[in-house]
Amino acid sequence: MAEQNREKRDMVTREETLRPKKWQPPQLLPDPEPEEGYAFRWIRLATLGNADPMNISSKLREGWEPVTAASQPKLRLLSSPNSRFPEGIEVGGLLLCKTPVEFTHDRDAYYRQQADSQMSAVDGNFMRESDPRMPVFSERKSKVTFGKGT
């Protein structure tokens, strides 16, 4: 059998066969590197150049803490020199913050319970107007059917 002149498999790379990448517009807000047990969020510091201290102070009281540039080396960006958070990561009036995932689950459960209690109050008000002679029907389900087109 004649010996074939072949390249070794580990010498062939996929990079040679890949198509060239296309240009894409940059993201407005970069995504932070995920950390185990933490949720990230961009929080507003200013709107149209006007500071919004009420928003950031309420978020800090809620449990969000600013992310330092040292903990996210890929996001080291120039922050404004007169920022309240010189160590933080600030982009366009937004500050990157993090909080434990448990806090976000607790917050979501709290607001879900608030919405459910509001809906039950609305239902109670609605059903109070019901008369036995002509009851009000309230069903929270919808159904989609498709007919046979002619």
Q: Where are the alpha helices (DSSP H) in the chain?
A: 53-62, 101-128
Q: Which two tokens stand for residue 53?
A: 């201290």
Q: Are 87 and 66 in contact (CB under 8 A)?
A: yes
Interval 51-81: pLDDT, tens: 889 999 999 999 999 998 888 878 776 566 6
Q: Which two tokens stand for residue 113?
A: 């319970």
Interval 93-136: pLDDT, tens: 889 999 999 999 999 999 999 999 998 888 887 777 777 776 66
Q: Are 91 and 76 in contact (CB under 8 A)?
A: no
Q: Degrees (nearest 5) of the Cα angle 55, 59, 65?
A: 130
Interval 13-58: pLDDT, tens: 666 566 778 888 877 888 888 999 999 999 999 888 888 899 999 9
pLDDT at residue 113, rounded to an integer: 96
pLDDT at residue 26, rounded to an integer: 79
In degrees and rounded to multiples of 5, residue 43 shows phi and psi of -115, 135
